[in-house]
Structure 1
Amino acid sequence: MEKNVCDNCSRDLLVSGDSVQFKCPKCLAHVIKRCGKCRSNAVKYTCASCGFSGP
């Protein structure tokens, strides 16, 4: 079973409010998972498949 945690800080997404999951905007192959804290702090993320990074 796949872990449901933030890709940046490993916080449990079920506990974190305002969390999101979305496909990489460049390759659409990897699902990026971000908790509300990383989103509000604009912590950069990187796609594990293609290396795309975003805010």
Structure 2
Amino acid sequence: MTTTTAPQGRTELLRPDRTPVRVLVVDDEAPLAELLSMALRYEGWEVRSAGDGAGA
């Protein structure tokens, strides 16, 4: 599983308690998972990704 945060210059989304908003991306097709992860990171989400359910 990998974890990434918003790129420099973008605002990271935070909950009222100031913890990051996270999403888990699971897809067995790595290019699709990476594309979705990149789009979500760009929008400020903290993204974790895995290649399958066991890895999640």
TM-score range, shorter chain: under 0.3
- Greater RCO (Cα-Cα under 8 Å, separation 6 or more): 2
**TM-score, length-scaled by structure 1:** 0.25
**TM-score, length-scaled by structure 2:** 0.24
